[in-house]
Each structure stands twice: as structure tokens, then as C-alpha cells.
Structure 1
Amino acid sequence: MNKSLLIINIAGLGAEAITSATPNLLGLSEVGGRLAVQPPVPALTSVSQATLLTGTRPVQHGIVANGWYFRELAEVLNWQRSARLLTGAPLWEAFRERDPGVRCANLFWRYATHASADLNVTERPTYWADGRKSPDIYTEPSTVRDELVERLGPFPLFRFWGPAADITSSRWIADATLHVLGQQQYGVILTYLPHLDYDHQRYGPESPQGSAALQAVDREAGRLIDAAQAAGLRVAVLSDYAFEKVSQPVYLNRVLRAAGWLQVQRAENGELLEPGASTAFAVCDQQVAHIYVNKRSAVGEVRKLLANTDGVERVMHGEEMREAGIDHARAGEMLALAAPDHWFAYPYWLEERLAPDFAGCVAIHDKPGFDPAELLWTPGWQGKLKVGWRLVQKSLGLRAPFDLIRRDPTPIRGAHGRVPTTDANRPVLITSWPIEATQPVPMESVRALLI
């Protein structure tokens, strides 16, 4: 059997989503195998990808969320890219142990910068001195950046995340993958199709828009599957989590602030969270939140408060976190899990007039938590109609925020992160070869099935 392999990560693909509406994925599963997968705690992009890469749990690989509190800096940092944050040998190094001559390519998986793969490609915007942000990618070797941009055009960053996010970014990544595949230089290729992340959050996984997104990403996956099999590669399709329907945001930081445990600093651009001065605060991401408590004596009171908050199903601490494999030094003192139909929103301000200026912007590195409302346009002229005016201001050299997103997150209808108990909410592994295992397969065991 040819050991060359294409691994396609389709974000948010559920184990029960493979039907006649996804003919390419269904066809692959019928000739090979399909297994439901139990994700790590928490089931978030960065955590799951680190688990898939290393075959270990967060307590070992160290990726505890998409962002966490860096205690030595007293800052919350989200969506970091450095491979130095990941502990453990990634998947491609395991392939090299078996065959030292194999070359490996990593396209758009997390922690790609300075990773040990032979080719790394990931999004990395250019931040200009005048405040502009423009689309770009980071590659190793660096010459590949010019090669891909010349061939495919600039990476569509604003279609990768934000209110305009759509299939365009997944199609660009698929085209880049086809280009790499056509070079016939790599025995192992990892790639990523993020499209389900958008309308599954905006409208819910069971909505008509969510179903259309599933069909669209199946078409892109089909192009990759066909090309890989024509080149003689094995194919694996997997996901890092699956969405569930939600309708109620829960504001943990506002609960902690009302109790006097969260501190803010009034600044020229609004109220700013001061995690280092706070007794306790939450780093919220989808349906989970790391709760950091700077005063150990307050742990019990904080846990009791949050456990009794509407929309909170469970607050893990101590032995519970150890059993879940999340008791890493980067983790919070507690981990809160949302109740069904709920998710955790990051806002901490109590009056809208005191909101920080980045609240209405796509600002993933400024916000002390994840904000899915960045996928939503502000209604009316303040949203799409305002884009043209902001572009004119930028063209004139004026500094102006792209404050175009909805500040009210209540329309969000899909989220993930909770511990799934049914295959409808579990991710999936599909292979072009037969596989057998007791289901659901722990995500840390998927790597061995691929090798």
C-alpha cells in the first residue's frame, strides 16, 4: 500500500453530517472507513489540532485553548502561530522515523511558523505602520509565498475570518494544496478547509445556510480527494470538532465583575480588562472558558458563583481537570463548560458607551477572548454600507477603525467546545482505506491510525 498521504482537516464537520448531500465525503467513506472521534477537553481548533499532531492530550502538548493567559506577561494572547508553543513530536516527524526520506507539507494547520515540516504555509496579515492590515501569508521556505501569490493571487484574508468570510478562503487553500500536490515533492500533506466555521456559527449547523455550507465544502474536498487519488495517495478527512445549536450567550466576565473580582482600567479608547489586577477573570471561547484566579483563597467562592450562574453546566477544578487531561500550567484554575443551547461571550463592560474601541472590529489579537460576532455585519448603514466610506478614508491616508461588526452577539446560532455525548456533536475520521476501532475513537489515538 502506498504510504503517501493527504490529510484534509474540515473544521466543524460532524460525524453524522456525511450523507447523500455530501457525495464526495460519502463516497470516500464507502470505499474506506469512517469513525466518530471523541475530541479533547476543550474541543477547540488549536487544542484538537495539537492533539491530532502529537497524539497526546493538552496536559502533555500544552495547547489548552485558542488563547490563554500568559501569567508572566499578565496578558491574554489569542491565536498564536509559533510551533515553539507545542510540546511533542508532530505527525510528520513520526512519518520521518519510518521513512527518513519523506518530505512533509503543512498548509494552514495551527502552530505552523518555524515548524519542522519541509513546507509550512499559514495566514499572517501585514500590519502597516499607518494602522492598515492587508492580506498575506507566511511560508517556509520563504520563496513559496511569492510562488503562491503569483499563481493564485493574494490570500483572501477577509474571506478567511470576519463578516465577509465565505467559501473563497477554502477554495484558495484547496488551490494551493492542488499546486503543492502537483509538484509531487511531498509524501505527507496536511491541509485545512475552514468553511463550516462561518455559517454554522452565524445560522446554526442545521440551518439551510449551514446545509449549503456543507455542500460547498464537500465540493472543495472532492477536488482534493480526486487529485490525491489520481496521484496514488491515500486520503484521510478529519475534523477537530462539531457544532451544536445555541441561542443564549453567557457573560461570565460580567458576573465576575459584578462580584468585585474583575478589574478594568478606564482608557481613552474605553474600558480595558486588567487581568493582572483582577482576582478572577474568564478567557471565553465558544462553550468553554478558562477561569484564572490570581488569589488562591478565592477559588472556592469563584467556583460556587459560576457554578450557580444560569447557562453554566459545570465548573471543573482539581481532580476533574486532571482526569480530563487539561491540568497544564497554562490552563486556568478552573474550566467552565456551558449548558446546552448556551455559549460564553467575552464582554466585560457593563455599559455600551464604555466598550473598548475594538469591540466593533475584527480584532482577534486585541480581545481577551473569542468573539464569533466578528462574523456578523452591523445592521443597516453601519455595516456593509459603511465599508465604502472606510475604504475611502484609508485611501486618503486617514486612520479609521473598521468598526463594522455587530456588537450584540445574541444572533449567533452555532458553537462547540462542550464534551460531546452523541455522534451528532462529535468530529469524524474518514479514510480511503478500511479502518476498525471501537467508537468513539479518542482523538489522541487518531495519529496512530494515520501512520
Structure 2
Amino acid sequence: MTDPQIPQTTETAGRIIVLDIVGLQPQHIDADRMPTLESFFPNDRVTDLRPPFPAVTVPAQTTLATGQRPETHGDVSSGEYDRERETAEFWERDRDGRDRIWETASDEAGLTTGVLNFQHLIGTSADVAVTPSPIEDENNDILEMNCWSNPDGFYDDLREELNHFPLHNYWGPGANEAGSRWILAAAREAIERFDPDMLWIYVPHLDYVGQSDGPGSDAFEEELGVVDELLEEFLTPLTETDRWDETVLALVSEYGFHDVDRPVFPNRALREAGLLDVADDGDVDIAGSDAFAMVDHQIAHVYADEGSVDAAHNALEALEGVDDVLGESGTEHRGIDHPNAGEIVLVAAPDAWFQYYWWDDTANAPPYATEMDIHAKPGFDPCELFIGDEGLVSLDATKVRGSHGRVDGSAFGCFGLGGPAGPALQGDGAVDATDVTPTIIDLLGLDLDSSIPLEGSSLRSSPE
């Protein structure tokens, strides 16, 4: 095993700005496709970033920002199954007492920190924070667009300057670059008004085309240029700020994409095996089922009653497109052995992904299946990127052309250090996701009695 490219420096940075560009990989950064990014991060400043397992949004984000694996921090999916209430919900978890680098650096070291559009930000102690928090009714229908911010009035000021955050361009059939453009504009305002010592900026634009068209598509290639233009608008003025000479730019990407062409339906298999029950209204009866699968891209957590684990395993292992069926020893090996994980965890083949559907006939789909309802669905639904024939959202899972969640070298993210104060990378291997927060702590010269029990080790391989 080769050593990862961990920076070696005795100098400390006065300011770190993290660009979290989802779906970006080192091979995308060149003078032809992304000239702006290449000028700040030439080849010797960028390397692979090995994501945690599973390589999906919330586990990856929490690992990057804490230095912990999912087996420690407990985010094993972008959804969460509440065993007591017997409900599965996506994107609903709050900060829940967890400290990430922006909270620890602010609370313990007195730095001014900021973070934009990360998951689970409501209640953060970061000095500057913005995250979408629309006002919804009991049916999750949006009554009014809003964002939660710290300080309290910051979003009101951003709204006057930039208009409301364009939520309908942030996800769904209307997803485009407007969401990322707004976030980067808000980041400029945050720097101008609060001058944070550390600012983490989530740039999601490649996530849309990565799923809808896949990483090998012409459309993905075109959107690399769009992201580069957005970064030019943000980075060029940054070079003229007073603190530019002491600035490190850190580049991270939570995961890369796989080209896929096979949707896999574990809940159909569980229903056929008599393990999954459906209510009269067409919705899954989780409480009444012996087993069900909460899917998230190329990973599925299967929650099963004690006496039904073997039957669920037998029903799922023969599914075409399933690469691995993990039990207790498998989840421990993959660094996901946590009570939040399913009794069984499915891993899709590289060209496959998991859809939550338990029905065969679209006439039997629950009402929310054709709606933009990211909280109610017991699985992540990339079909929300496509307009449907019978409602807002398509029910044709074959349209999806890209996915993520597996951890293999073809879909690693990227890590880079640039800017005038950015140190050189040393070594010739991939940086582990657990090393990102320790690296930021080192670059800022922080001596923390940290509530983050860092697990990053420059010599440890991520299990696969």
C-alpha cells in the first residue's frame, strides 16, 4: 500500500476555504474542461479521496467534517430508520449533539467559522450558516420558502440581495446551476460581512447530471464547464481580498459516480417472499412487515425482525444486480457496524442501483411516488429529477444513468490543496475521508481538546 498524499508543513494557514464539489474527480480537472479550477489546483495539488462506506451524501459529509467513520458517528445513510416508531425518513435528522470541524473550531478555538448548505445544520454553533428550511404543512407541501441561518437575520439579508434561495433548482426536475450559483454568491457575502477563518461551501451542481445522465455522458462533460464558470465568479474576487496571501483552498468531493443502467427492486423481492406488507392506501406497512429495504443509491439497508433475517437474506441474495449481501461480519469489515444499520446491507453491482418500489403496476403506486416528497419516501428517489407522465415525478427507473454508494477506485472523489498558503501534497496514494478534518486542524494550527474523537490515520486503508 502506498502512502496517501497528506500535506507536510510546519506553516499554518490564516484562513481555509473548503470547496465541496460533489461528483468531481481528479481526471476532470484540466486546462480544457476546467481551466479555472486547474489554475488553482494543478495536477500535483490534487489526488483521489477515498470516501467512507457507504459513499452517499450524509455519511460522506459527516465523515469528512468529523474524521469519524459511520460506525462511530452513526450516519449510515441519508435516511434514518427509527426502530421505536418503526418509520423511515430521509433528510430529517438534526445536528443531534454531533460536533463537526466548524463547531469545534468555533467553540473550542475561538475561530470564526462558516458553512453553507451542508446537511443537518439547524442548531449549529458555526458563526455563519445557511441551510434550506422551507415552511411546510402537515403533508410536507411547501407553504413558504425559507432558510435557517446563523446569525438569525443573515438569510433575510441574503434574500434582499440575492432573492430567495432557489429551492426548486436545488433538487427535482428543475435542478440546475441556479442553486450552486446562489450558494457561492452567499459565500461571497459571508466573507465580506464576517471574514470567517474557515468556510465550508457545498457546491451540488454536478450531482444532478451525475445521476440523470451519468459520469460518462456528454452532458456531464458540459456541466464541468458550467461549474468551472461558477467557481471563476467566486474565486477571482477572492484573490483580491486582504487575507488572500494567508488562504488555503481545500478541494473535496464526497464521491464519484458510476454509470448505471439497471434498477434493482429489493422491496419487490421481499414482498414476493411474504416479508413485506402493503397498506390499503398502497403505502408500505413498515410496522406490519417482517422486513423492508430502505434504499439509498447503490446501498440498501434491510431491517428485518429477528426471526426473518435468514428469509430476507435468501430472498435478496439471488437478485440480479446485487453484488454483495452483508451481514454482521460484513458491516463490521466495511466500517458500518452501528445500531442504525440494517440487519442486512445490500451493495449493488457497479452498473446497478436500488429503487424503493414494491409495486409492479404503476396504478398501485402510493400517492407520493409521483410527487416531490423527499421526506416521506422510504428511500432516496433519483427519479425526482425527471418529469413524469402521471404526475410531477417519473416512475420510470430506467431513466437513471448514474449512481454512487459503492466504494471502489473508479468512483473515488478528489482532494486538493491550493491557494497561496496551500502546502504541497506528499506521497502517491489516495487521501482517506477521515483525514480531511485532521488535515484542516493541522493547517489551522489548532490544539484542540476536541469533542471530535478523530479516527483519521494517514496509513489506514478504507475497507472494501
Question: TM-score under structure 2 normalisation?
Answer: 0.87
1:125 aligns with 2:137: no
Distance 1:227 1:181 in 2: 11
Q: AA paired with 2:440?
A: L
Shift of 1:301: 2.6
Whether the aligned pair in 2 keeps the contact of 1:32 and 1:431 (CA below 8 Å) is no
Change in Cα spacing, 1:128 to 1:319, as seen in structure 2 (3 Å) is closer
Shift of 1:93: 4.1
For 1:19-418, list aligned pairs within 5 A: 19-20=30-31, 21-30=33-42, 33-84=45-96, 87=98, 89-96=99-106, 100-128=109-137, 131-231=141-241, 232=244, 233-267=247-281, 271-294=282-305, 296-378=306-388, 403-418=391-406
- Match of 2:200, SS state, is strand
Distance 1:371 1:133 in 2: 22
Shift of 1:24: 1.8
Q: Which of 431, 439, 442 is 1:441 aligned to?
A: 431
Change in Cα spacing, 1:56 to 1:415, as seen in structure 2 (3 Å) is same
Q: Deviations over 1:387-434 (max 9, x none)?
A: xxxxxxxxxxxxxxxx312111111100000121x2x41000111121
- Match of 1:241, SS state, is coil
Q: AA paired with 1:312?
A: V
- Match of 1:276, SS state, is coil
Shift of 1:140: 2.0
Q: Which of 384, 391, 411 is 1:425 aligned to?
A: 411
- Match of 1:306, SS state, is helix
Distance 1:307 1:417 in 2: 18
1:400 is aligned to none
Distance 1:43 1:169 in 2: 22
Distance 2:307 2:415 in 1: 44
Shift of 1:120: 1.7
Distance 1:436 1:183 in 2: 35
- Match of 1:46, SS state, is helix
What is the RMSD computed on CA atoms of the aligned residues?
A: 1.8
- Match of 2:330, SS state, is helix
Shift of 1:437: 4.4
- Match of 1:277, SS state, is coil
Distance 2:341 2:237 in 1: 41
Distance 1:235 1:227 in 2: 14
Distance 2:380 2:23 in 1: 16
Q: Deviations over 1:132-161 (max 9, x none)?
A: 444321112221121111110011000000
1:391 is aligned to none
- The range that moved more, 15-24 or 200-209, is 15-24
Whether the aligned pair in 2 keeps the contact of 1:35 and 1:429 (CA below 8 Å) is yes
- Match of 2:27, SS state, is coil
Distance 1:278 1:244 in 2: 32
Shift of 1:347: 0.8
- Match of 1:113, SS state, is coil
- Match of 1:266, SS state, is coil
1:15 is aligned to 26
Change in Cα spacing, 1:260 to 1:129, as seen in structure 2 (3 Å) is closer
Q: Deviations over 1:267-312 (max 9, x none)?
A: 2xxx111112111110011111111112x13222322321211000
Whether the aligned pair in 2 keeps the contact of 1:81 and 1:113 (CA below 8 Å) is no
Shift of 1:95: 3.2
- Match of 1:64, SS state, is coil
Q: AA paired with 1:290?
A: H
- Match of 2:283, SS state, is strand
Question: TM-score under structure 1 normalisation?
Answer: 0.89
Runs of 4+ in 1 over 6 A off after TM superposition: none
Whether the aligned pair in 2 keeps the contact of 1:262 and 1:275 (CA below 8 Å) is yes
- The range that moved more, 351-360 or 431-440, is 431-440
Distance 2:202 2:249 in 1: 13
Change in Cα spacing, 1:290 to 1:13, as seen in structure 2 (3 Å) is same
Whether the aligned pair in 1 keeps the contact of 2:106 and 2:125 (CA below 8 Å) is no
Change in Cα spacing, 1:252 to 1:149, as seen in structure 2 (3 Å) is same
Distance 2:104 2:425 in 1: 19
- Match of 1:257, SS state, is helix
Identity %: 32
Whether the aligned pair in 2 keeps the contact of 1:201 and 1:415 (CA below 8 Å) is yes
Change in Cα spacing, 1:344 to 1:129, as seen in structure 2 (3 Å) is closer
Distance 2:91 2:329 in 1: 28
Shift of 1:330: 0.9
How many correspondences in the alignment? 420
- Match of 2:357, SS state, is coil
Shift of 1:341: 0.9
